[in-house]
Amino acid sequence: MTKKFHIHTFGCQMNVHDSEKMAGIFSGKGLEETGGTDNADVIVLNTCSIREKAEQKFYSELGRLKKAKQENPNLKIAVAGCIAQQQGNTIFKRFPYVDFILGPDNIDSLESWIGDRKQSAEHRTQTTALKYNPGYHTKTLPIKREGRVRAWVSIMYGCDNFCAYCVVPYTRGRERSRPRADIYNEFELLAEQGFKEITLLGQNVNSYGKNLAEDSDFPGLLEKIHKIDGIQRIRFVTSHPRDLSGKLINAMRDLPKVCEHLHLPVQSGSDKILHLMNRGYTFEDYKKKMDSLRNNINNIAITTDIIVGFPGESDKDFELTLNALLEIEYDGIFAFKYSKRPGTKALNLPDHIDEAVKSERLSKVLQLQEAITFQKNKALIGKTMEILVEGASANDPEKLTGRTKTNKIVNFCGDEKDIGDLVKVEILEARQHSLYGETT
Ligand code: SAH
Ligand code: SF4
Ligand code: F3S
């Protein structure tokens, strides 16, 4: 009987895409994807360690799998992703029923693990694949993609920024850029397969090319892949404000397929906190880049990430973050309470903030931003916008859903044959997190 696999993904887009690579490897080995843990022969938990909450979610899911393993001793359980890299084989001690632990740099190791016939219940060997894998960024892995319209493409791995709060440099290792030719080939393949929108992935895409021998920076990469016919839209995440160059702003302005949306995490409006975070810019620097973006790119949408309650954040520092939201008027934000992460510099900073104060600050930030986002959405009523149709709307299967180039979700009554096409929709109604419209 065909063996079945199930992958449970936690965390960011990078992890979602890594899971597509894992699914590609399993499918290549003749395994079939199954919707849940119940009838799976192989389960992978692809973990995230960015905040304590994400970690807890994983541990409770892994706890639940104990019973599944007791009921089916042939079940294989692998722990992948950022917690796997950080905790290593200590996971075996707490959870002896785990079979394999692999880090984000070693996804290719699943191939030999799954093909290993010695892995029967009687001869169970617990193995790990956690070593620095210097050639990983030059490998092309099979990918089983989730959608048919939009796709992810990795352009770089790791991060060298060491923001004081962040585990990523410890879990994903040093920054390495994929060779430009590999990215180009993947783009061509996706165009042939009918994909319309590509999102380039990396922790700090602006510094793409830094470690490449060939002369290729991020704007240069955009220019090159922009030429590929069939792909209609190009997006990228994430950009670091310090490395956002005038050259990139010009490329965004001049290359029509590059969407008018930038996710540019500010984290805080206080220079004191930005310095403690090791972000490498002041709020004034950030604002200058914002002005340049808005002056050069018509109607650009800007989104951001905010951390509240970083160690040492006074009421005054927090006020500066609220002011930043008022001043910049983001299209949307992700806001988080600072969470202590093992191995990071911020752990040793003085003046950690009470949980209750963090919660209060978080709700203030969210409340303020909700009003701003809603205002921005309402301002779009009456406008006709180009939507890339993705499929049926999750909340209302009678309707179709898609996004504007500015990354706003629009639901509308339309024809299923339009899935994968660009259509014009007039915006009739604004909601908190989406828009409603009709085709024109
Ligand atoms: N490389 C990207 C994304 C990093 S993780 C970037 O630099 O923007 C996504 C967001 O999680 C970060 O922008 C930050 O706002 C948040 N984050 C990271 N570590 C955190 C921590 N320890 N506590 C709370 N939020 C955190
Ligand atoms: Fe983390 Fe900073 Fe790197 Fe982003 S840039 S992944 S926040 S260390
Ligand atoms: Fe989480 Fe790792 Fe992504 S910590 S946010 S899965 S890079």
Return the pLDDT at 118.
Answer: 57
Note if the pTM is more than 0.85: yes
Distance 231 CA to ligand 2 centre (A): 29
Q: Where in the chain are all domains bearing CATH 3.30.750.200?
A: 262-366
Return the pLDDT at 120.
Answer: 57
- pLDDT over 60 (residue 78): yes
Q: Where in the chain are all domains bearing CATH 2.40.50.140?
A: 384-439
Return the pLDDT at 117.
Answer: 60
How do residues 183-242 score in pLDDT, each as one tens digit? 999 999 999 999 999 999 999 999 999 878 766 899 999 999 999 999 999 999 999 999
Ligand 3 binding pocket (C-beta < 6 A) is: 11-12, 14-15, 48-50, 81-82, 167-168, 171-172
Q: Which ligand is nearest to the CA of 19?
A: 3
Ligand 2 binding pocket (C-beta < 6 A) is: 159, 161-163, 166, 168-169, 203-204, 240
Q: Average pLDDT of 406-414?
A: 96
Q: What percent of the chain has pLDDT over 70?
A: 98
Q: Where in the chain are all domains bearing CATH 3.30.750.210?
A: 147-259
Return the pLDDT at 211.
Answer: 77
- Assign 313 a pLDDT band (cuts: 50, 70, 90): very high
Per the listing, tokens 């922790």 go with 203
Distance 184 CA to ligand 3 centre (A): 26
Beta pairing partners, 129: 102
Distance 257 CA to ligand 1 centre (A): 28
Return the pLDDT at 394.
Answer: 87
Protein residue closest via CA to atom 5 of ligand 1: 50
Distance 375 CA to ligand 3 centre (A): 32
Average pLDDT, the chain: 95
For the CA of 172, the closest atom of ligand 3 is 7
Calpha distance 321→365 (Å, rounded): 8
Return the pLDDT at 111.
Answer: 93
- Assign 396 a pLDDT band (cuts: 50, 70, 90): confident
Return the pLDDT at 121.
Answer: 54
Q: What is the CATH number of domain 384-439?
A: 2.40.50.140
- Assign 134 a pLDDT band (cuts: 50, 70, 90): confident
Top CATH class of 4-129 equals alpha beta
Instruction: Name the CATH architecture for the domain at 147-259.
Output: 2-Layer Sandwich (3.30)
Ligand 1 binding pocket (C-beta < 6 A) is: 50-51, 165-166, 168, 203-204, 238, 240, 265, 267, 305, 307, 336, 338-339, 341
Distance 238 CA to ligand 2 centre (A): 9
Return the pLDDT at 6.
Answer: 98
Per the listing, tokens 């290359």 go with 255
Q: Where in the chain are all domains bearing CATH 3.40.50.12160?
A: 4-129
Q: Which ligand is nearest to the CA of 171?
A: 3
Q: Best substitution site from 168, 175, 341 to test ligand 3's pocket, by max atoms within 8 Å of Cβ?
A: 168
Distance 377 CA to ligand 2 centre (A): 29
Instruction: Name the CATH architecture for the domain at 262-366.
Output: 2-Layer Sandwich (3.30)
Protein residue closest via CA to atom 1 of ligand 3: 48
How do residues 11-33 score in pLDDT, each as one tens digit? 999 999 999 999 999 999 999 99
